[in-house]
């Protein structure tokens, strides 16, 4: 049994990562500022699930707070740190670029410095994003030069990857940068299409589809992502690794039909012309994750979408008035 730190433990991926570690008998210390970027009842629900495990403790506060991070690391030593706290929405980063840099880059710096000051191991799994590949040729491979991020969010993640490299070089940190591709699942983020679509289909609210709805995304189920992050906690030096759905990109319409079936309601669709700047398909090359981590996504989209919509139905008592 080991002890791990999960930053952003009330977030979508942080919660699932913490849960899998706890279910495996490990101890998890979490930290999250529970900010209101989206409906905080989702964060409370996730924390309630984690609180069922005696091995879970958490701190409420900001990763940019040096005194707090010293306290958090005093609760170690940690076998590894899963750094999942971040400002994660692409669109909102256009409104708040400074906030994104403060949290995603300076926040990481605060975590790295607190880690350096502690006596524990220096292993960090850093959450990064497929958004870095926008505009580059597919399938997206880790070696592509991701030097042209097209949003402050992507730029802040690129900066975070670079900063982690310098701590690897200077101070011997062992870093796994995991680039996630469109993560979905139960208790997902309400700023992303799966949960919004369930909500709108259930309520008969029109969904706007740009183009024919056949554009595909490399959707990856949250349990697969969390397993991949945990597999990446082994010693690797410094590696960047894609964690994506692999060979089964799914169309938006495919996802909508899967939700309709479980929710027992038809989506009301509004069609708008396709935006030429939208990517038609996204597709991860995951051969490196296979090779280095022995990782493969195992949850088929049909099953993952069913679980997502079923979770919505099971939580109707509070999710039905979800704030979007």
Ligand X SMILES: NC(=O)c1ccc[n+]([C@@H]2O[C@H](COP(=O)([O-])OP(=O)(O)OC[C@H]3O[C@@H](n4cnc5c(N)ncnc54)[C@H](O)[C@@H]3O)[C@@H](O)[C@H]2O)c1
Tell me which residues touch ligand X (CB under 6 A): 8, 10-14, 31-35, 43, 62-64, 84-88, 103, 107, 127, 129, 180, 182-183, 189
Distance CA 90, CA 92 (A): 6
Q: At its nearest, how many Å lie between ligand X and the CB of residue 147?
A: 18
> With contact defined as beta carbons under 8 Å apart, do 228 and 177 qualify?
no
Distance CA 87, CA 108 (A): 12
180 vs 295, which CB is nearer to ligand X? 180
For the question of residue 37 being annotated catalytic, the response is no
165 vs 270, which CB is nearer to ligand X? 165
Q: At its nearest, how many Å lie between ligand X and the CB of residue 264?
A: 27
Among the options 133, 153, 184, 202, which is catalytic? 153
H or E element, residue 69: helix 66-74
Q: At its nearest, how many Å lie between ligand X and the CB of residue 112?
A: 14
Tracing tokens 């597709």 back to the chain, one arrives at 283
Q: At its nearest, how many Å lie between ligand X and the CB of residue 19?
A: 12
33 vs 142, which CB is nearer to ligand X? 33
> With contact defined as beta carbons under 8 Å apart, do 279 and 165 qualify?
no
Distance CA 229, CA 28 (A): 15
243 vs 266, which CB is nearer to ligand X? 243
> With contact defined as beta carbons under 8 Å apart, do 308 and 256 qualify?
no
**Which residues have a Cβ under 8 Å from the Cβ of 290 and sit 6 or more positions away?**
296
| Catalytic residue list | 153
């Amino acid at each position: 049994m080991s002890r791990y730190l999960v930053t952003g433990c009330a977030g979508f991926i942080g919660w699932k990562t913490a849960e899998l570690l706890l279910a495996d008998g490990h101890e998890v210390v979490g930290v999250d500022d529970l900010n209101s970027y989206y409906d905080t009842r989702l964060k409370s629900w996730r924390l309630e699930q984690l609180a069922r495990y005696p091995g879970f403790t958490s701190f409420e506060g900001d990763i940019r707070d040096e005194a707090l991070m010293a306290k958090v690391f005093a609760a170690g030593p940690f076998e590894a740190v899963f750094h999942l706290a971040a400002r994660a929405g692409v669109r909102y980063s256009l409104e708040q670029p400074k906030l994104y840099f403060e949290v995603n880059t300076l926040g990481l710096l605060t975590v790295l410095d607190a880690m350096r000051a502690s006596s524990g191991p220096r292993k960090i799994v850093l959450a990064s994003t497929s958004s870095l590949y926008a505009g580059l040729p597919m399938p997206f491979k880790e070696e592509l030069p991701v030097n042209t991020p097209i949003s402050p969010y992507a730029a802040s993640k690129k900066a975070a990857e670079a900063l982690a490299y310098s701590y690897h070089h200077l101070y011997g940190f062992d870093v796994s940068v995991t680039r996630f591709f469109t993560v979905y699942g139960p208790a997902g983020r309400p700023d992303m299409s799966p949960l919004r679509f369930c909500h709108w289909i259930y309520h008969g609210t029109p969904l706007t589809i740009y183009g024919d709805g056949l554009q595909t995304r490399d959707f990856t189920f949250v349990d697969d992502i969390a397993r991949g992050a945990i597999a990446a906690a082994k010693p690797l030096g410094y590696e960047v690794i894609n964690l994506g759905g692999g060979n089964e990109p799914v169309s938006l319409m495919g996802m909508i039909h899967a939700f309709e079936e479980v929710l027992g309601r038809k989506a009301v669709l509004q069609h708008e012309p396709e935006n030429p700047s939208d990517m038609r398909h996204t597709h991860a090359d995951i051969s490196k994750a296979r090779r280095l981590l022995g990782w493969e996504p195992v949850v088929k989209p049909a099953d993952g979408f069913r679980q997502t919509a079923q979770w919505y139905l099971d939580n109707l008592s509070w999710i039905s008035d979800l704030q979007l």
